[in-house]
């Protein structure tokens, strides 16, 4: 009997064949600790009696949620993050003080490779499956335990295979695909499952587009989400795939809990409407609601191709007079690339506010929060009550193309 990708990754780490439902202790390849959780991680680490991390080379600390500081207490998190890194001799290359969003940096900066087992103190750690790594979010207590031991137990997930074939319509992005899938599965439909994406549609996707889909897998409850590593993965990671990494694809006789098949041509621009991520509707079926603000950015859609897709729509035009357009690139590297190729100039000329790379408005910090009854169209991953201001803010999640179209018209608009 064959194996799924997740079974191969965990089995390789454990040195034996594993099956869904089995409890396995894994040796951790990398951990990601973000600034907002570091005070809790350090406190629990010390409470457990640890004094040294198991391997400083495998620990990555990223300040992204709370930089630049918007509240006085944010400074404490920054100081604890950098202080712990210094005390534990974390390499300078593994400490990102203000380089961008954790989930962008973990693959962009080369911390994660295909086949790795990675844990992070943020639910969207599932993102790194875009390069064929097992990655998932954990709490600060589990993270403290890993920092001291280098190990964690986990249950081997069963897998839902999602097969997508064909060519996507020009106004559809991978964000529309994953929102549609979340709507079909529901917010709990993939709880503790692995999502394995296959088919020629995803094979033709860029790594950036794949990142959008793995990033949002947690919104269906998934433990992880995985794409088979290929030459695009190797180029992005700046490596040559070894035999193990080349074999990270689902076998023909692998056992899947469920298989979902989609035709790319059937996808349309969609939105998750307030206030649940699985409340997904085609944009064409949503009433033309007045929009107060548009947010283009986050670890979901703050990459260069996302900014360029919006710029293509906004080029030579102006944002609606009563709409604020906030653009937050996912990293310094992306910021520079968008600056060098003229994308940021197009967005600025259209009336956009360009901010420093960080989590920003996605987590309700560092500028752009809204108030009662305001409407925001955002390219991030969650539209929960109170996430971007008061509990009466209405958050619509959309692709960069849809978001840019809404910024132009000042209302919900299909690209």
Distance CA 95, CA 82 (A): 8
Q: Give 110's strand partners.
A: none
Question: Average pLDDT of the chain?
Answer: 97
CB 341 within 8 A of CB 333: no
201 pLDDT higher than 90 = yes
Q: Could you tell me the domains of the chain?
A: 5-263 (3.30.499.10), 270-409 (3.30.499.10)
Q: Take residue 328 and report the two structure tokens written for it.
A: 């937050």
How far apart, in Å, are the Cα atoms of 210 and each of 81, 116, 131, 414? 30, 17, 8, 23
Q: What is the pLDDT of residues 322-349, one digit of tens each?
A: 999 999 999 999 999 999 999 999 999 9
Q: What is the pLDDT of residues 41-54, one digit of tens each?
A: 999 999 999 999 99
Q: Which residue in 315, 323, 320 sits closest to 343, CA to CA?
A: 315
Mean pLDDT for 7-17 is 97
Q: What is the pLDDT of residues 344-396, one digit of tens each?
A: 999 999 999 999 999 889 888 778 899 999 999 999 999 999 999 999 999 99
CB 415 within 8 A of CB 405: yes
**What whole-number percentage of the chain has pLDDT above 70?**
100
Q: What pLDDT is recorded for position 367?
A: 80
Q: What pLDDT is recorded for position 320?
A: 97
Mean pLDDT for 124-152 is 98
Q: What pLDDT is recorded for position 153?
A: 97
CB 313 within 8 A of CB 404: yes
Q: What pLDDT is recorded for position 73?
A: 86
Mean pLDDT for 169-197 is 98
Q: What pLDDT is recorded for position 365?
A: 79
Q: What pLDDT is recorded for position 314?
A: 98
DSSP state of 270: E
Distance CA 18, CA 187 (A): 27
How far apart, in Å, are the Cα atoms of 12 and each of 31, 56, 115, 160? 18, 23, 9, 20
How far apart, in Å, are the Cα atoms of 379 and each of 172, 215, 293, 400, 411? 14, 12, 12, 6, 15
The model's confidence at residue 22, banded by pLDDT at 50, 70 and 90, is very high
Mean pLDDT for 118-144 is 98
Q: What is the pLDDT of residues 251-281, one digit of tens each?
A: 999 999 999 999 999 999 999 999 999 999 9
Distance CA 129, CA 390 (A): 33
Q: What is the pLDDT of residues 70-89, one digit of tens each?
A: 888 889 999 999 999 999 99
Q: What pLDDT is recorded for position 71?
A: 84
- Phi, psi (rounded to 5 degrees) for 218: -60, -25
| CA 218 to chain centroid | 9
């Amino acid at each position: 009997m064959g194996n799924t990708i997740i079974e191969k990754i965990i089995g390789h780490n454990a040195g034996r064949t594993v099956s869904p439902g089995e409890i396995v202790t894994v040796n951790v390849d990398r951990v990601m600790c973000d600034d907002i959780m570091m005070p809790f991680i350090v406190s629990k680490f010390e409470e457990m009696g640890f004094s040294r991390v198991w391997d400083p080379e495998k620990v990555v600390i990223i300040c992204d949620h709370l930089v630049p500081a918007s509240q006085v207490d944010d400074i404490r998190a920054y100081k604890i993050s950098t202080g712990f890194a210094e005390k534990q001799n974390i390499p300078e290359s593994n400490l990102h003080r203000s380089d961008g969003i954790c989930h962008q940096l973990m693959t962009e900066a080369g911390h994660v490779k295909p086949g790795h087992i990675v844990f992070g103190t943020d639910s969207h750690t599932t993102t790194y499956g875009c390069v064929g790594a097992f990655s998932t979010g954990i709490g600060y207590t589990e993270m403290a335990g890993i920092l001291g031991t280098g190990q964690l137990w986990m249950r081997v997930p069963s897998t839902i295979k999602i097969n997508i074939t064909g060519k996507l319509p020009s106004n559809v992005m991978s964000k529309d695909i994953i929102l549609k899938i979340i709507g079909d599965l529901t917010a709990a439909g993939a709880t503790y499952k692995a999502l394995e994406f296959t088919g020629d549609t995803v094979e033709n996707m860029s790594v950036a587009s794949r990142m959008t889909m793995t990033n949002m897998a947690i919104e269906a409850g998934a433990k992880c989400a995985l794409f088979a590593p290929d030459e695009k993965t190797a180029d992005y990671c700046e490596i040559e795939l070894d035999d193990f990494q080349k074999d990270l694809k689902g076998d023909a006789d692998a056992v899947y809990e469920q298989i979902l098949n989609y035709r790319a041509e059937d996808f349309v621009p969609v939105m998750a409407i307030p206030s649940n991520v699985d409340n997904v509707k085609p944009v064409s079926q949503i009433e033309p609601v007045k929009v107060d603000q548009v947010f283009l950015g986050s670890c979901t859609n703050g990459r260069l191709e996302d900014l360029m897709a919006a710029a293509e729509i906004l080029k030579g035009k102006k944002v609606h007079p009563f709409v604020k357009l906030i653009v937050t690139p996912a990293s310094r590297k992306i910021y520079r690339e968008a600056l060098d190729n003229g994308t940021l100039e197009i967005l600025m000329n259209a009336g956009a506010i360009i901010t420093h790379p960080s989590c920003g408005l996605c987590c309700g910090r560092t500028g752009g929060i809204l108030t009662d009854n305001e409407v925001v169209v955002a390219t991030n991953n969650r539209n929960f009550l109170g996430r971007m201001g008061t509990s009466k803010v209405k958050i619509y999640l959309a692709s960069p193309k849809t978001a840019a179209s809404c910024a132009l018209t000042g209302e919900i608009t299909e690209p």
